Chain A
Amino acid sequence: MTTVFAILFYAAFAVLVAGLGMKIAQFARTPAPLKIPTTPAPLTRQGAAFRVAREVVVFESLFKSNKPLWIFAILFHFGLFLVLARHLRYFQEPVWSVVALIQPLGVYGGLAMMAGLALLLLRRIVVARITYITGPSDYLMLLLLLGIGATGMAMKGVAHTDIVAVKAFFLGLMRFDIQPLPADGALYAHLFLVAVLMIVFPFSKLLHVPGVFFSPTRNQSDDPRERRHLAPWAAKLEAGGN
């Protein structure tokens, strides 16, 4: 099993990095020919960067839009953030002191994440408008995340796994020196689902993660009268003479 998981994780990591890298390159390469910030928008580029930062960190537009949904989304994303931070310790030796410091919070993060996901799922099922726009992949994504959370929390709360060995496995992976992975069903399930998540990431709606940084309606400054904005293809059109 150790070898299987080692290969799986190398593959998943490669797909994640390459897939995401290609998507980001595509977003970056595609020109935005017109100034289309949703106004009122900041007048300066720094202002626009701050606007994007607010979208990323506090979900500003979502807050304006729908308070319950905002709470569910914040629960899930901040929970996930704490959980990910807690997991950093499996990949570093020595462990950074901040990571060690927030480690006890990770458990609450896990709970918040599970609660947020459950509420999001419930909302998809109960609210007719949301059911209408939900496809199989949307349910599966929530179930996948719930599965990862559940197996992870089971290892923490119910059946402890040998995390020292798990850490050795991952540190080993990073050094191309494969160490044995403990034989534990919950761990296998957890790691398998995480690898699936990594693989589907660049092909799914999880692309909202890079997407939010590239959205022209949010990242453009409002200065079209002051600064002429011209995409390369539009400049070519102009030079083509008419």
Chain B
Amino acid sequence: MAADFETPVLGDVEERPTPALACGAMAGSKSYVAAPAHNEALGFPGELVPDWQDKAIARMGELLGKYRSLQVFMDSCVKCGACTDKCHYFLGTGDPKNMPVARQDLFRSVYRRYFTPVGKMFPGLVGAKEFTRELLDDWFNYFHQCSQCRRCSVFCPYGIDTAEISMAAREIMDSIGLGQKYCNEIIGKVHKIGNNLGLPGPALIDNLEGLEEDLKDETGQDVRFPIDEEGAEVLLVTPSADFFAEPHVLGLIGYAKVFHAAGVSWTLSTKATEAGNFGMFIGNYEQMRKIAMRIREAAMELKVKRIVFGECGHAWRVAYSFLNTLVGPWDFLDPRYPVPQHILEVTNDLIKRGGIRLDKSANEGIVPTFHDSCNVARASRMGDFEGGQFVIPREVVKACVPRFVDMHPDTTHEKTFCCGGGGGLLTDELMEIRVKGAKPRMEALTDVVRNQGVTHMVSICAICKAQFTKILPYYGFDREVVVSAHQLVSNAIILGNND
């Protein structure tokens, strides 16, 4: 592995010792700054504007008035430190600015200096700081070392969510022309081509035809991958990585088989070829809404009755928690189904009702564990009961395999650790923080691999899958250890002769 940094040494998952402070350890791990073209395509200034300080403070004031979360979180932190050892980026790097409260304080110091009486009169007393270029650089570094995973929020006595603050910080930086290349370039692609990967419609259609042929050879069945089919029952919106990256595409094949076996007509849309919504990562409501609007338009044009989302973490957060707000109401869809539905909700229902049948022996030799994706675990739900987002994926996976093992309880459910690549960090220049941030998850995985014979880790998020595929080798695992949930469904599902 060619790398100019050391992969962390894994410890015992039981102990998970807190690292010693290593000041400035990650100061050098920087995102690329967006080029003027990337920024301007989204309506942001091309590069850092000369009066950036005034503009940034004005924008901060605006956001404080628009988001209760931001205002309350700025005022309520008591510096108790309960969050300090909860962030995977701190645990993996020891850099104190990766402690959630310290990350917040980069923002809070400016807030106090310009928006609070004490901060204006006695800045030194309350850590209020001038918004200097140096501080802005720290913002750019460390607000792009937060995957907006919300783990800190679970443990804070006031629910302070550093993700909200990172989003606000990124929104402010965009508004002064200091965007991050990765996110802004991708959002540009969504607007221009329709998805994060920049995969044009014809190439996609080609790709889907290829999949149909492969499946015909493999199963003898006409499993279809319909696209732009008006009048289908279901519009499937899935992350674009599902169209060709591995293991994502194996999940897509699983969705197609589920619809096929259950006899549900479905379609993709060339208009909404992306479930992901990076508008959330940059904290920009208008962008988020604009990206979500394609889904509404596609659903209307294709006259579908239901909308189903494929496996993706942040996409599911935007879909489950925000879609109704952003581009609802959904009164033109079938009211018997929640809008939107998660593909795992659909599959789970079908398994429970006997609408599809599974043969566990097809996954003989696979002993999976399950990685709860942060945005699914801490920012959304599945099913109609509290905590359904933990139960339903596990039920589906368990129905597909002979044996299932959970990882250490401090690393699952709402305490799950981020894969290390979420929130707009899935870019090569951030490899160091990505590898180091994966440490807590890798510790828990190593534990069940060594002690309980686990062979695979199921993920239900396009970013997690891409991240793990990249970083598993750093920790001595094969990249194929990470699998899609619907990949296991795909292996186990019984097609044809369903009587």
What is the CA–CA distance of A242 and B293 in the complex, to the nearest angstrom?
Answer: 9
Contact present for B85 and A225 (CB under 8 Å): no
Does chain B have a CB within 8 A of A211?
A: yes
Contact present for A138 and B79 (CB under 8 Å): yes
Interface stretch (choices B135-143, B363-371, B377-385) = B377-385
Q: B65, B158, B340: which contacts A215 (Cβ < 8 A)?
A: B158
Interface stretch (choices A5-13, A56-64, A90-98, A168-176) = A56-64
B384-417 interface code vs A (CB 8 A; 1 in, 0 out): 0111011000000000000000000000001000
- Knowing A27-B71, A229-B324, A234-B325 touch, does A205 contact B79 (C-beta < 8 A)? yes
Cβ–Cβ < 8 Å partners of B322 in chain A: 34-35, 224
CB distance from A169 to the nearest CB of B (A): 30
Q: Which of A33, A129, A218, A228 has the most CB of B within 10 A?
A: A129
Cβ–Cβ < 8 Å partners of B20 in chain A: 128
Q: A32, A65, A205, A227: which contacts B76 (Cβ < 8 A)?
A: A205
Does chain A have a CB within 8 A of B11?
A: no
B126-168 interface code vs A (CB 8 A; 1 in, 0 out): 1100000000000000000000001001111111110010000
Does chain A have a CB within 8 A of B477?
A: no
Contact present for A212 and B21 (CB under 8 Å): no
Contact present for A36 and B379 (CB under 8 Å): yes
- Knowing A133-B102, A207-B75, A212-B76 touch, does A233 contact B386 (C-beta < 8 A)? no
Cβ–Cβ < 8 Å partners of B380 in chain A: 39
What is the CA–CA distance of A217 and B158 in the complex, to the nearest angstrom?
Answer: 8
What is the CA–CA distance of A68 and B118 in the complex, to the nearest angstrom?
Answer: 31
Does chain B have a CB within 8 A of A100?
A: no
Does chain B have a CB within 8 A of A127?
A: yes
Cβ–Cβ < 8 Å partners of B320 in chain A: 224-225
Cβ–Cβ < 8 Å partners of A231 in chain B: 66
Contact present for A230 and B325 (CB under 8 Å): yes
B344-380 interface code vs A (CB 8 A; 1 in, 0 out): 0000000000000000000000000000000001111
Contact present for B80 and A228 (CB under 8 Å): no
Does chain A have a CB within 8 A of B285?
A: yes
Cβ–Cβ < 8 Å partners of A69 in chain B: 80-82
CB distance from B451 to the nearest CB of A (A): 25
Contact present for B80 and A73 (CB under 8 Å): yes
Contact present for B389 and A32 (CB under 8 Å): no
Contact present for A217 and B99 (CB under 8 Å): no
Cβ–Cβ < 8 Å partners of B85 in chain A: 129
Cβ–Cβ < 8 Å partners of A64 in chain B: 154-155
Cβ–Cβ < 8 Å partners of B125 in chain A: 135-137, 140
Contact present for A36 and B154 (CB under 8 Å): no
Interface stretch (choices A40-48, A153-161, A180-188) = A40-48
Q: B65, B72, B126, B289: which contacts A211 (Cβ < 8 A)?
A: B72
Does chain B have a CB within 8 A of A167?
A: no
Contact present for A208 and B76 (CB under 8 Å): yes
Contact present for A129 and B99 (CB under 8 Å): yes
Contact present for B81 and A33 (CB under 8 Å): no
Contact present for A33 and B325 (CB under 8 Å): yes
Contact present for A129 and B76 (CB under 8 Å): no
Does chain A have a CB within 8 A of B332?
A: no
Name the residue of chain B whose CB is nearest to the CB of A60. B157
Does chain A have a CB within 8 A of B86?
A: yes
Contact present for A215 and B72 (CB under 8 Å): yes
Does chain B have a CB within 8 A of A134?
A: yes
Contact present for B329 and A216 (CB under 8 Å): no
Does chain A have a CB within 8 A of B197?
A: no
Does chain A have a CB within 8 A of B328?
A: yes
What is the CA–CA distance of A36 and B160 in the complex, to the nearest angstrom?
Answer: 11
Contact present for A133 and B81 (CB under 8 Å): yes
Name the residue of chain B whose CB is nearest to the CB of A218. B159
CB distance from A19 to the nearest CB of B (A): 9
A127-154 interface code vs B (CB 8 A; 1 in, 0 out): 1111011111110100000000000000
CB distance from B378 to the nearest CB of A (A): 6
Does chain B have a CB within 8 A of A204?
A: yes
Does chain A have a CB within 8 A of B83?
A: yes
Contact present for A38 and B153 (CB under 8 Å): yes
A181-221 interface code vs B (CB 8 A; 1 in, 0 out): 00000000000000000001001110110011011111000
Does chain A have a CB within 8 A of B17?
A: no
Does chain A have a CB within 8 A of B207?
A: no
Does chain A have a CB within 8 A of B440?
A: no
B456-497 interface code vs A (CB 8 A; 1 in, 0 out): 000000000000000000000000000000000000000000
Name the residue of chain A whose CB is nearest to the CB of B97. A132
Cβ–Cβ < 8 Å partners of A130 in chain B: 79, 81, 84
What is the CA–CA distance of A59 and B156 in the complex, to the nearest angstrom?
Answer: 10
- Knowing A34-B321, A73-B80, A129-B85 touch, does A212 contact B157 (C-beta < 8 A)? yes
Cβ–Cβ < 8 Å partners of B73 in chain A: 215
CB distance from B15 to the nearest CB of A (A): 16
CB distance from A74 to the nearest CB of B (A): 11
What is the CA–CA distance of A136 and B112 in the complex, to the nearest angstrom?
Answer: 14
Contact present for A30 and B67 (CB under 8 Å): yes
Contact present for A225 and B338 (CB under 8 Å): yes
Does chain A have a CB within 8 A of B251?
A: no
Contact present for A38 and B325 (CB under 8 Å): no
What is the CA–CA distance of A135 and B401 in the complex, to the nearest angstrom?
Answer: 53
Q: Which of B158, B290, B378 has the most CB of A within 10 A?
A: B158
CB distance from A72 to the nearest CB of B (A): 9
Name the residue of chain A whose CB is nearest to the CB of B90. A129
Contact present for B99 and A132 (CB under 8 Å): yes
Contact present for B329 and A228 (CB under 8 Å): yes
Cβ–Cβ < 8 Å partners of B102 in chain A: 132-133
Name the residue of chain B whose CB is nearest to the CB of A141. B78
Does chain A have a CB within 8 A of B105?
A: yes
CB distance from A167 to the nearest CB of B (A): 33
CB distance from B60 to the nearest CB of A (A): 14
Contact present for B118 and A129 (CB under 8 Å): no
Contact present for A38 and B289 (CB under 8 Å): no
Contact present for B386 and A208 (CB under 8 Å): no
What is the CA–CA distance of A208 and B158 in the complex, to the nearest angstrom?
Answer: 7
Q: Which of A26, A39, A208 has the most CB of B within 10 A?
A: A39
Contact present for B79 and A222 (CB under 8 Å): no
CB distance from B282 to the nearest CB of A (A): 14
Q: A27, A39, A227: which contacts B389 (Cβ < 8 A)?
A: A39
Does chain A have a CB within 8 A of B193?
A: no
Can you give 16 A-B contacts (C-beta < 8 A)? A27-B71, A30-B66, A33-B285, A38-B414, A62-B80, A66-B82, A129-B18, A132-B21, A135-B125, A137-B118, A216-B68, A225-B324, A225-B338, A233-B66, A237-B286, A237-B289
Across the A-B interface, give the 6 residue pairs with the lowest CB-CB distance, nearest first.
Answer: A211-B76, A217-B159, A65-B155, A218-B159, A65-B82, A30-B68
